[in-house]
Amino acid sequence: MEKAILEPKLVNNIKGEFFIPAYQRGYRWEPEHITMLLNDIWENGDNNYCLQPVVVKKLDEEKYELIDGQQRTTSLFLILKYMKQILPFIELNFFLTYKTRPKSEEFLKTIDPKLANEYIDHFYMFNAYEAIDTWFNDATIGDRNLKAINLYKYFGERVKVIWYEVLTSENATALFTRLNIGKIPLTNAELVKALFLSKDSKNITDEKQLEISTSWDLIERELQDNNFWYFLTNQSPEKFATRIELIFNLMSNKEYDEKEKFYTFFYFIEQAKKASKIDVWQEIQSYFLILKEWYEKRDIYHKLGYLVSVGKPLQSIIIEAKGLTKSAFKESLGTEIKNKLDLTAEDVLELNYSSGKDREKIDKLLLLHNVETVRTLKNSSERYSFKSQKTNNWSLEHIHAQKSEGLNKKEDQQKWLKLHKASLENLMVTAKDPARVEDVIKNIDIHYENITQAIFETLFNSVFELLSENEDRSYMDSISNMALLSISNNAALNNATFDVKRNRILEMDKEGQYIPITTRRIFLKYYTDSKDHQLHFWGQQDRDAYIDAMIGKNGMLKNYLKTNEI
């Protein structure tokens, strides 16, 4: 029975005649493409290196219709032809022929400069050949002969193409069109799909093909849910041509910075050698269903989602979960969160925004506070939105700012004064010294149009003192004055006092924008006893109540803090 072939093939093992049909355009690689390819292979050295797929249909013994990959195959031919001048023992095991451009075939054999401008194909082939010559003779990269010897060694041991030999019944023109619409290269996921759907064993029947294809589409559709996606990963889906590739990357334990672009495909080729394709596919389905189950379990969703958000590899969580009961698994997640946080209550109180090393700890702590606040809501099906967290510009900022950093532009200074003038006007009703408030408002009006840096700094300090509980600023960089806010790209709001930020949060809430739950509670004074409410300031009682809600006796994060060792 005829079967499709999908496998990695070393460059030196490519053999035969490659027929270029009429539906394909000619060779069009620019010199920079050739140079980039040579540099990549050279710099990769004695490591595996894989080119994009070469898609062929067999016409006869060692004769193929080259459906996709003409540019790469022609470039490899030109490189090997050039190297043969340096190393005469090199054999050119493949060559190209053309349906409508027979003179291109002859030019490839001679690379005659006199014919370089006769046809457009000749022009590009000659320029590519010249680029190869320039690269080999560039002494800054290395000796010409040594480069040829090593490159030929790499072609025989490390540099591969993905050889995709389709069934002879395949409509080559239709396949070429599909592969080249938008010039999107084949991806790991598409190659893995072809691997599982190819009828190269009696197990892959028409019914099994339909079953695999249907379940593939179901998994892809499930992963289109961004809430599910961002529970599983911190990566943008825009980096994936198909979302199922995330599952394949997880299963193959592919690192984020893995340079081998077809790492995942090679992994599944090896798996298919060890077990039947049906068994491997069933393993993929089981893997996905475990992730889906975790997504649907509310407690696991929040704890695991948090761990992924702060950098715990999902692959390692899956490995650690094997053999554990569901209750033991949930407990292990809590333990891992405690380890990731790595803080005692005393450590939390000493965290300081001014310390660069503390900022990441504060960020993790506040994120956990938000996640746990949602998770522990009674009689609620609400779930923390990892999607909103990862797609919005939420960053670590002061609840009540004290500095004028970044307020150097006149328009930013005017905006800041305008925002705070409104807060001062609201303060007039309850102010202990309304005359002083009125005086500052008048000064803002006087200097607004012709503001200078010196005048602005004076007004900034006056406004800050009026909209602060007292002049003590020692708490400014402590955890009690930190929250997740989404206004960091706005200098006027970033440096605003509590009342201005509160007004902005209320506007966002009315507009239906996403606001982390603890941020909303901070600016609605949720944590503060009603008897202590004063809406314009973020005072000592507010800060104490906020910390108590976080790490106090009944604090949300109490169980995730380490105890002091005696």
Between residues 319 and 167, the one the model is more confident about: 319
Q: How do residues 476-510 score in pLDDT, each as one tens digit?
A: 889 999 998 875 556 667 777 888 888 888 888 89
Q: How do residues 128-147 score in pLDDT, each as one tens digit?
A: 999 999 999 998 888 999 99
Handedness of CA 444, 449, 453, 454 (dihedral sign): negative
Q: How far is CA 53 from CA 8, 64, 70, 73, in A?
A: 9, 15, 10, 10
Q: How far is CA 27 from CA 93, 123, 129, in A?
A: 20, 9, 12
Contact 505, 399 (CB under 8 A): no
Encoding tokens for residue 137?
Answer: 């003779």
What's the chain's length in residues?
Answer: 566
pLDDT of 342 > 60? The answer is yes
Encoding tokens for residue 213?
Answer: 């294809």
Lowest mean pLDDT among 258-262, 344-348, 554-558: 258-262
- 3-state class (DSSP) for residue 59: strand
The secondary structure of the chain in percent helix, strand, coil, rounded to multiples of 5, reads 60, 10, 35
pLDDT over 70 percentage in the chain: 93
Q: What pLDDT, on the 0 to 100 scale, is given for residue 26?
A: 86
Q: What pLDDT, on the 0 to 100 scale, is given for residue 489?
A: 54
Instruction: List all residues 6 or more positions away from 363 whose beta carbon is below 8 Å from its beta carbon.
Output: 396
Say how far apart CA 434 and CA 425 lie, in whole Å.
10
Per the rule left: phi > 0, alpha: psi between -120 and 50, beta: everything else, 508 is: alpha
